[in-house]
Amino acid sequence: MYELPSGEDKFELEVSAPFGEEGIIVYASTAPLGEIGLKAEGGIYQVQTKTEDVGIMTRGVRISQKGRGIVPGVSEFLENGVTVTTKKE
């Protein structure tokens, strides 16, 4: 289980108007996430690529020349989302 943000992170999640339902999607990988658009946001990255395109751009099968001597490493990928409801205190 992971906590976002955790005590070690260099960012906070700030809730502001308009209040209501918010969707948060987290992408995590042990390898680079492919050619997706990212914007640095102080210690994390905001994904600029459309949500429906992320899966296409981060996974797949590629044709490569046989016998190049390159052994691709195994990587783990996780995509998970949650809906939270924000409200004024």
Its pTM stands at 0.52
Per-residue DSSP letter, 89: -
74 pLDDT more than 70: no
* Helix, strand, or coil (residue 81): strand
2 pLDDT more than 90: no
- Hey, where are the domains in the chain? 1-53+73-89
User: Given the DSSP bridges, would you call strands 44-47 and 77-86 parallel, antiparallel or unpaired?
Assistant: unpaired
Residue pair 51/24 in contact by the 8 Å Cβ criterion: no
pLDDT tens-digit readout, 4-49: 778 887 778 888 899 999 888 887 777 776 778 888 887 778 888 8
